Structure 1
Amino acid sequence: MENATSDDVRPVDELWVKSLVARSVLRAADAMTAPGVTPSARLRTLMECHGALLAARGPGSALPFADFRRQVRGDPSQLLPEGIPGWDVDELRAVDADGHVTEDAFDIDAEQRLVLRVLQKSRRGTGLISARDLDDEVAQETAFAQLCKAGNQKVYETGRTDLIHYPAGPVSELSELRLPPLVADLYEDIPYASTYRGWWFACPVCRWPMRIALRRKAGREIGVVACWHKPHQEMGAAYCFRPVEGIVPPELLPEPPPPPPSVREAVLRPELEDVPEAKPVEGHKALVRGVWRYTCVPGLAELALRDRLVERGIKADLWPALDAYDLCVHVGRKRARKKEQLRVDVKDYTSGTALAQLIHAQEGDSGGADWLVVPDHRAIQVPLLSGVGERYGLKVTTASEFGEMVCERSGVAWA
């Protein structure tokens, strides 16, 4: 794992190289693992990725095609040019043992491209991203632009809340959501890696389709099911099942429960009492992965923090001014004449270094927030982000620490 400090903000050239390597590896991994791809199409994509990787590595850094193919299943950091540090993700792999493209690989690619786009818009870098690599960003921008189109705060809140609460489900139910047509088009068929014999399972935390794989254990084949988002797995969204024949749906058995959270963190932790039931793939759809990962997943933390504060009598407004930032929290004791307003942005990034680079690129928070809050499972990122944020007057803490601080200053109990 890379040892990053508050001064560890990389120049544009280094960001471009790391982003190009991450994109090349991710596209290659997807080409190698996706079903139904013809050998010629698979080879063509791999050759394109190999060429892009060689361009990123520069002259004098040879990498034979066969070595590139092998390394796609290994640590992407090994494909970076000499002198470029790897990513701050432990045991990073683009392809996991089940032959699936990993969440970590998806995240480092998306997060670094976001930083580069911010630099592009501020004219601190040009020509950094090709148009064909923008599918996920285009989807997210489409969702944001369409929800904002009416210029009505209530319409925006309702639409975004619906996206967060319904990232997947029956087409009949999704069609009833109050979403603009172009946003509704962001729902697609259930991802192939989340299906088993025509069935899928919704994560009990985020409700998006969980990943499914078959493995051999002690000479027997078992099915394993877990959310694509690792923190949700660690909360308990991990199961196994006995493979079935015919049209009978499989039944999940929970893996051993995780250690209980601290009293303070338990306030925001969802309770996973019910085991997910199999749902038919037919007649169901799910949001594209980028919108789920960077709208729905952090949105859960935003809604949970708002709800817990409101339950304690503290006013907290969601997405003020059509999402200039995530929360406006009114802090102060009940009888206080004037309460302090804290502007909060919630970020859930896999790479703390990428988020630090984003803060630096935006010179703080682009929407004017004075607090950056990360979910409790990202607590390890706080020292790095605090160092960078301090330069721009941006305070950084975890969600439960922020909630506890607000409650204490308002004269109520958090836990």
Structure 2
Amino acid sequence: MAAEKWCTPKVDQVNTRSTSASSLHDAEIRHVVMTAAAMAARALTGSDSSTDPEVRLKEMMDAHARILWAWGPGKPLTFTKFREMLTEDLSALLPDGVDAGEMSGFYAITEDGEFEEDSYDLEMEQRTVLEALDKASWNGRSAMGDRVSDELHQTLVHRELLKGRSQESYCAWRSALITTPAGTAGELRRLDLPAKLDEFYEPIRFDALYDQRWWFACPFCSWPMKITLHGEKRGSAGKVRCFHRPHARHGARYEFTVPDSGKAPELRPVGRPLKPEGNASVLFKDITDGIPEPTPEKGHRALVRGVWRCTTIPGIPELGLYDALSKPTLKKKEVAVALWPDMDTYDLLVTVSRERGARTEFKVDVKDYTHATLLADKITADRGDGGGADWLVVPDFRYDTVPMLEDVSRKWMRVATAGDFGARVCQEAGATWA
């Protein structure tokens, strides 16, 4: 992109720096508050693996201290009031003068009294924006502070992937993390991952286990699903759903009657989601004909949450587009697709060749953000995509975010859902998206 021309360079640079610093300050405060609220909500609802009341109390007190730091002196907040506010709109926990942004209307505890799993997504996405704003602020300091394990895991995975011997090994390892986020020791061994990457597979998490013995794989992403027990005696019935809410909305949501002791539950689908029409139907996986079977916990491992959320989940539409655009019918139309070119400069390079050497290139970055406003903030701070992508593609179930992302990105990138992008490539090649 050509350098922008400024009429008054010094004044505009000062204003840009000032605006960036202001945005960075608000983003930092929102992240501190969000992290503290999520920590306290986990402890309050008992969703953490620790059942020790003293440990949970200490976590809530630590979270309370972080909120007090964010508020600063002169505005007291008692521990009792803080505990009450955890069930309210979290924007109320922000200090005066800080823009609520993506936290407006967000609750860390659901109406059912459970921890809101989307809190993980919001916290990680906030941190991604903080990194971008930190670079844009030009102040030479780190905005990030202590990094939580989820993001640290993903950073280390990315580093290990880049150590690959070739583009081929990079693609093979990254694809394995997407297609096999859980499995037996033998299945994981056959992935032929480096030892450092294999370490990110851990025992099945406690909140995805029934009776500490059984788990169920999401039919969309194959990661262990969340299990909760309900009823007057808390145990008469259970619910199972994918931790990724869009997967649950599209059918990865079940219920069961608690079986006799020692037996595994039998799942029943909750509702019957409609298959999308039009361009979105091509990449959609219809799961209505199959119900997940109980899988023994023993001998199985699954990716840690941060790697699943940052690699497996966005990787599903990446591989979906790659496979769909690599079909023989499209190859005959001179459509070529490269996956993660130059070890992830961007996600896809799609080339449509025509007569006399003419061709069209699509450089694609695929993003799956739960909170689209944070993705918009990151695009603005980065002034597009750092790798040079000229298309931003979101999963088909994020179709309602496209208009807003188009407004933000129009200077640097075009925006489309995965299905609409596939149709756009086929139109360029004179083929049918099907």
- Does the alignment reach a TM-score above 0.5? yes
C-alpha displacement at 1:141, in angstroms?
1.4
Give per-residue Cα distances to partners, 1:198-242, cap 9 Å, x unaligned: 111000000011111122389993211110111101111111111
Find the counterpart in structure 2 of residue 407 from structure 1: 426
Find the counterpart in structure 2 of residue 50 from structure 1: 64
**Residue 394 of structure 1, aligned match among 413, 418, 422:** 413
Going from structure 1 to structure 2, the CA distance change for 1:263 and 1:390 (only over 3 Å counts) comes to: closer
Going from structure 1 to structure 2, the CA distance change for 1:405 and 1:90 (only over 3 Å counts) comes to: farther
Alpha-carbon separation, structure 1, partners of 2:428 and 2:59: 56
Aligned length: 405
Three-state SS of the structure 2 residue aligned to 1:315 is strand
Alpha-carbon separation, structure 1, partners of 2:235 and 2:171: 48
Find the counterpart in structure 2 of residue 191 from structure 1: 205
Find the counterpart in structure 2 of residue 237 from structure 1: 252
Find the counterpart in structure 2 of residue 275 from structure 1: 291
Alpha-carbon separation, structure 2, partners of 1:284 and 1:238: 22
Going from structure 1 to structure 2, the CA distance change for 1:145 and 1:271 (only over 3 Å counts) comes to: same
Q: Which moved more, 1:360-369 or 1:121-130?
A: 121-130
Find the counterpart in structure 1 of residue 7 from structure 2: none
Alpha-carbon separation, structure 2, partners of 1:90 and 1:56: 17
Find the counterpart in structure 1 of residue 336 from structure 2: 315
Q: Which moved more, 1:87-96 or 1:108-117?
A: 87-96
Mapped pair 1:129 → 2:144: yes
Q: Which moved more, 1:244-253 or 1:99-108?
A: 99-108
Q: Which amino acid aligns with 1:36?
A: S
Alpha-carbon separation, structure 2, partners of 1:19 and 1:218: 38
Contact 1:147 1:179 in 2 (8 A): no
Three-state SS of the structure 2 residue aligned to 1:196 is coil
Find the counterpart in structure 1 of residue 8 from structure 2: none
Question: 5 Å matches for 1:203-214?
Answer: 203-214=218-229
Three-state SS of the structure 1 residue aligned to 2:240 is strand
Contact 2:394 2:416 in 1 (8 A): yes
Gaps of 5+ in 2: 1-18
Find the counterpart in structure 2 of residue 294 from structure 1: 310
Find the counterpart in structure 2 of residue 223 from structure 1: 238
Q: Which moved more, 1:36-45 or 1:233-242?
A: 36-45
Alpha-carbon separation, structure 1, partners of 2:268 and 2:105: 27
Three-state SS of the structure 2 residue aligned to 1:224 is strand
Q: Which amino acid aligns with 1:291?
A: V
Going from structure 1 to structure 2, the CA distance change for 1:382 and 1:59 (only over 3 Å counts) comes to: farther
C-alpha displacement at 1:57, in angstroms?
2.4
Find the counterpart in structure 2 of residue 143 from structure 1: 157
Mapped pair 1:338 → 2:354: no
Give per-residue Cα distances to partners, 1:3-44, cap 9 Å, x unaligned: xxxxx9971111111111111111222333213342332222
Question: 5 Å matches for 1:156-175?
Answer: 156-175=170-189
Alpha-carbon separation, structure 1, partners of 2:27 and 2:103: 16
Q: Which has the higher contact order (CA 8 A, sep 6+)?
A: 1
Find the counterpart in structure 2 of residue 325 from structure 1: 346
C-alpha displacement at 1:177, in angstroms?
1.4
Gaps of 5+ in 1: 1-7
Superposition RMSD on alpha carbons, in Å? 2.3
Give per-residue Cα distances to partners, 1:321-369, cap 9 Å, x unaligned: 0011000011245x56332111000000011111011112212101110
Three-state SS of the structure 2 residue aligned to 1:15 is helix
Going from structure 1 to structure 2, the CA distance change for 1:219 and 1:46 (only over 3 Å counts) comes to: closer
Find the counterpart in structure 1 of residue 3 from structure 2: none
Three-state SS of the structure 2 residue aligned to 1:214 is strand
Mapped pair 1:303 → 2:325: no
Choose 1 or 2 for highest CA Rg.
2
Q: Which amino acid aligns with 1:196?
A: Y
Q: Which moved more, 1:40-49 or 1:224-233?
A: 40-49
Q: Which moved more, 1:67-76 or 1:239-248?
A: 67-76
Going from structure 1 to structure 2, the CA distance change for 1:219 and 1:354 (only over 3 Å counts) comes to: closer
Alpha-carbon separation, structure 2, partners of 1:266 and 1:36: 43
Three-state SS of the structure 2 residue aligned to 1:285 is strand
Alpha-carbon separation, structure 2, partners of 1:87 and 1:276: 38
Going from structure 1 to structure 2, the CA distance change for 1:95 and 1:214 (only over 3 Å counts) comes to: same
Alpha-carbon separation, structure 1, partners of 2:103 and 2:36: 18
Alpha-carbon separation, structure 2, partners of 1:304 and 1:138: 27
Alpha-carbon separation, structure 2, partners of 1:110 and 1:164: 19
Alpha-carbon separation, structure 1, partners of 2:246 and 2:103: 13
Per the normalisation by structure 2, the TM-score is: 0.88
C-alpha displacement at 1:88, in angstroms?
4.1
Alpha-carbon separation, structure 2, partners of 1:109 and 1:255: 29
Give per-residue Cα distances to partners, 1:243-286, cap 9 Å, x unaligned: 01222111111111112211221101112121100011121111
Contact 1:89 1:351 in 2 (8 A): no
C-alpha displacement at 1:48, in angstroms?
1.5
